[in-house]
Amino acid sequence: MRRIVRTTKALADENRIRILGVLKGRELCVCQLIELLDLAPSTVSKHLSILKNARLIDSRKQGRWMYYRLAGKDAPKEITAALKWIAGSISESTRFIQDEQRMEQILMIDPEILCSR
């Protein structure tokens, strides 16, 4: 029951849903997520912490950068189902389409430059 509550609480925020949306099929540096959301780094880090605690995302550190991706194949079936439901629910939303377009622009920026801002 705790896992379900933790997952549903993690999904109860628009910015966290946006993060899950742009992570579909890719891994992103925290700096790229900060640029997309236009929020303070500490706020984005808190959102990422909540998503990671709910096991919706995984992370890895490479040098001084942190990279995030959706939970993998080893995720519990409830998490996989939740991620699939989110992806299907937001795929045609205006906000998701705008985020995807903005992310394409962000991905053209060298992460080294982006993260040093």
Predicted structure pTM score: 0.93
pLDDT, tens digit (0-9, with 9 covering 90-100), for 12-64 = 999 999 999 999 999 999 999 999 999 999 999 999 999 999 999 999 998 88
Could you give the percent of the chain with pLDDT greater than 90? 75
Just give the CATH number of 2-109. 1.10.10.10
The pLDDT value given to residue 113: 85
Structure-block tokens of residue 63: 């040098």
Task: Parse the chain into domains and list their residue ranges.
Answer: 2-109
Give me the pLDDT at residue 73, please.
81
C-alpha to C-alpha distances, 115 to 16, 44, 52, 69, nearest whole angstrom: 20, 14, 21, 18
